[in-house]
A and B are shown apart, each in its own frame.
Chain A
Amino acid sequence: GHGSSKEENGAAESQSKGSRRARLKQRLHLHRRRRSRSNSPSHGKLLNAENFAGIALLTLVRAEMKFKDKWLACVSFGEQTFRTNISDQTDKPVWNSEKKLLLEKNGPHVARISIYETNKMSRNNLIGYCEIDLLEFLTRDSDSNSNSEILDLLDPSTSDKIVGKISVSCSVEDPIETEKSFARRILSIVDYNEDGKLSFSEFSDLINAFGNQVAANKKEEMFKAADKNGDGVVSMDELAALLAIQQEKEPLMNCCPVCGETLEVSDKLNYMIHLTLCFDEGTGKQVMTGGFLTDKQASYGWMFKLSEWAHVSSYDVGLNSGSSANHIVVFDRRTKRLVEELIDEKIVLSMRAIYQSKLGLGLLDTGAKDILQSLSEKQGKKMNSVESAKDIPKFVEFFKDQINLAEVKHPLEHFKTFNEFFVRELKPGARPIAYMERDDVAISAADSRLMAFKSVDESLRFWIKGRKFSIQGLLGKDQCSNAFINGTLVIFRLAPQDYHRFHFPVSGTVQQFVHIPGCLYTVNPIAVNSKYCNVFTENKRVVSMLSTAEFGKVAFVAIGATMVGSITFSKKEGDHVKKGEEFGYFSFGG
């Protein structure tokens, strides 16, 4: 508990540390024996005292305070701080909050626990604190079967007055379990149908995304070794075991998929522990919040790229870097040919990981929505800066086959920011309107990838897989009449390179705008096709109602997405409009 280690003198401390380490070695000996029995080639590495590293599982169980309030506890460990949820109004708060902490020879080993009373009207007040030396706690001689302890909470202003007590427990996580569960979890990213089995292509996606050529060359070898009956699929557990062995011989990842930190290959255990902790932070498995994941970190790791828009401002290292670009196939109506749209494999994988897996669902529940909002707002500011204009030529070069500058109204020099270029206007006549004089013919509202369905049922069968999708959910209760319920649905998806202004598909009168706040998930098919994600009914959007003579009412829904969450209209309620006229545009922002 707090205070005890401070009383030791230097020599005694040195001796004590030595014996503590010996006791810790002894405590971990059980793990070693089990590991030896399992024939893992890595046995004993954790027990090398000079390179000691392990994961300590610290639990803040409950506290007893001297008055009733709503309480939260924070744990500071090294440079990280984590917090519990806020308790009910009580003098005996119960949290049962767990946190995994990396404990290593030269790293921090004293955790400081602070207890705050919470107050909506002012700041949280620090009421008590204590410190716990985790290394000492885990290696103490007394009653080695007990992992729990009750610590005094001290008054921060006097340090000698006891203001309460807190019950904590701490244990060392079994390193074998850490390795196995990590391998299972990393593999589960690509188990798209969640049947616990992996095909070679699923496994291959993952290894390619790691960006390690050596590992990529061995993936077939590893997969064949696991696929003993040669049927092309292997169980997750079999592959996890092989992956763990390979991971020790030759690490697969050069940088952490979650936070993007470069991993020290020479320090294999820390490497794996880092990944485990990083994944934990995002999955909601751990109750405490805070720590590893910030939006800055998220912007570096591929797991959180989350959107095909992720590289729009950095095309020098953008979509076509590497040979492993993935693609979406679309049918070009003009040329009547199938065309492939390239997307970096890491982005595809990250979108699948986030939007199509239970792991991703957990991530979305633990702060990723806020990260998407924050990333989009920051991207908006960046794209509105004068400096962003320097990205325009790179962008144009990257999409040289898809952006026709000859039809853009203004020359490139005209655009002072990237966003100005992004919402570029086209020259009059650049988009001929079909049957211009006939209001009974509807036209395409945007340069886009289009999907059309006679009914909502068909859209659900062929495209929209979010379990909660409905027309009422899309339009909002007040906008949705019975006539829309099984109406016809046309989806126009805009890609980064597209002309970003949208137009009226029919002639009529703009009746009203309804702004619906929401998330900024990607609108890529990967998310739309996910049963876990309800992009169209959860994203930020504006529903406008058009009243027409030939088509009755037409609902026009402009939906924001990751990075491109800003929706601007150039018409207002009551305006009479002709089909083909500009209605508004999407731009970078939140």
Chain B
Amino acid sequence: STVICVFEKDAIEIDEDLLANSARSLETLVTVGMKLGVSKKLANIGLPNIEKCVLQ
């Protein structure tokens, strides 16, 4: 079984790692709740990259 979500053109900016794997025809193992992407409106502002954040 499969779920397919279709977003309208220019509505979402999918996370780069997911797009990069897919462009290599490689599936990515994910779990419910993992980040998929952000609304294009928000993408223009930008989200903080948590992986690059440092605790001080």
Residue numbers of A with Cβ under 8 A of B are 328-334, 339, 431-435, 440-455, 458, 462-463, 471, 474-475, 481, 483-494, 499-503, 505, 523, 525, 536, 550-561, 564-565, 567, 580, 586
Residues in A with CB closer than 8 Å to B32 are 431, 433, 443-447, 499, 501-503, 580
Which of A448, A450, A488 touches B11 (beta carbons < 8 Å)? A488
User: Contact at A440–B42, with CB atoms within 8 Å?
Assistant: yes
Asked if A554 and B1 sit within 8 Å, CB to CB, the answer is: no
- The 8 listed contacts between A and B (C-beta, < 8 Å) are A447-B31, A462-B23, A474-B6, A550-B41, A554-B6, A559-B3, A560-B1, A561-B2
The answer for the CA separation of A310 and B39 in the assembled complex, in Å, is 40
Task: For the A-B complex with A501-B32, A554-B6 known, give 4 more contacts whose Cβ atoms are closer than 8 Å.
Answer: A339-B29, A447-B31, A491-B4, A494-B3
* Cα–Cα distance between A331 and B4 once the two chains are bound (Å): 19
Q: Are the C-beta atoms of A443 and B34 separated by less than 8 Å?
A: yes
Residues from chain B with a CB closer than 8 A to the CB of A332 are 28-29
How many contacts between A and B, using CB within 8 angstroms?
209
Complex CA distance for A98 and B15, rounded to whole angstroms: 57
Binding site for A on B (CB under 8 A): 1-9, 11-12, 14-15, 17-19, 21-39, 41-42, 47
Q: How far is the CA of A458 from the CA of B36 in the complex (A)?
A: 18
**Known contacts A333-B29, A557-B4, A564-B1; A441 and B42 CB within 8 A of each other:** yes
Given A333-B17, A493-B27: A561 and B4 interface contact (C-beta under 8 Å): no
Residues of A within 8 A of B8 (CB): 481, 483-484, 487, 551-554
Whether the pair B29, A331 counts as a contact (CB closer than 8 A) is yes
**Cβ B29 vs Cβ A449 within 8 A:** yes
State whether A505 and B4 are in contact (beta carbons under 8 Å apart), knowing that A334-B31, A452-B19, A462-B22 are contacts in the complex.
Answer: no
Task: Say yes or no: A561-B6 contact (C-beta < 8 A), given A331-B29, A333-B28, A452-B19.
Answer: no
Task: Report chain B residues within 8 Å CB of A452.
Answer: 14-15, 18-19, 22, 36-37
For A492, the closest partner residue in chain B by CB is B3
Asked if residues B18 and A450 are in contact (CB atoms below 8 Å), the reply is: yes
B34 cross-chain contacts in A, Cβ below 8 A: 333, 434, 443-444
Is the Cβ of A487 less than 8 Å from the Cβ of B27? no
Q: Say yes or no: A488-B33 contact (C-beta < 8 A), given A493-B2, A559-B1, A561-B2.
A: no
